[in-house]
Amino acid sequence: MNADVLLRFGLAVVIIGLCLAAYWLLNQRLLLRARNNILTLFSKLPDKPVLVYFTTPDCAPCKTIQRPAINQVSRVLGEDLEVVEIDATERPDLAKAWGVMSVPTTFVLDTRGEARYVNNGVARAEKLLEQIQTL
């Protein structure tokens, strides 16, 4: 009985692991897409990390969680971080080019303009800071 439950638990972990791997691969694809579209945002790359934030005016979690989190990150890093906010309703072309299908979505770009992280959905300040600090 217990061995059966353990075996089934192991199988469940493997299935969930496969799903997470598929999700990771999807994120890698988004990052690749972002790398290919970096010049849609800048003519000249800023020599610092960039946080690209896709939002819409009426996105509730953007207002209540994501925006305050980005403000917090900006306060901590000051001039060492460039934040680019894009309204997906005003710039659907950019949202499409970057593969953004829901908001909030944030991309963390390193100093060379390479997209290193993508967060689908709300990303807390701690997570964003950690991502930026590992660049």
Partner 1 sequence: MTQALQKVDHSALKANQLFIISFNVLAFILNLPILAAFVALVMGIGSLLKVPGFGFVYKYVLKPRGWMKPDVLDDNPEPHRFAQFLGFLFMTAGSAALFSGATVLGWSLVWLVAVLAALNAFGGFCVGCAVYYWLSRFQLPGFSKQPPAGTFPGMKPKVGASQ
Those residues with Cβ within 8 angstroms of residue 45's Cβ, 6 or more apart along the chain or in another chain: 38, 111, 112, 113
- The answer to whether 21 contacts partner 1 (rule: CB under 8 A) is no
CB 123 within 8 A of CB 69: yes
Q: Does 56 bind partner 1 (CB under 8 A)?
A: yes
Does position 128 interact with partner 1 (CB under 8 A)? The reply is: no
**3 state DSSP class of 73:** helix
Q: Which position among 24, 39, 80, 92 is part of the footprint of partner 1 (CB under 8 A)?
A: 92
Of residues 45 and 122, the one with the C-beta less far from partner 1: 122
Question: Which position among 88, 108, 115, 123 is part of the footprint of partner 1 (CB under 8 A)?
Answer: 88
CB 118 within 8 A of CB 105: yes
Q: What share of the chain is helix, strand, coil (3-state, %, to 5)?
A: 55, 15, 30
Angle in degrees, CA 128, 132, 135, rounded to 5 = 150
Compute how many residues bind partner 1; rule: CB under 8 A: 27
Shortest Cβ 97–partner 1 spacing (Å): 14
Indicate the residue among 12 and 32 with the shorter CB distance to partner 1. Answer: 12
| Residues at the site binding partner 1, with contacts judged by CB under 8 A | 4-5, 8-9, 11-12, 15-16, 19, 23, 26, 56-61, 64, 88-89, 92, 95, 101-103, 120-121
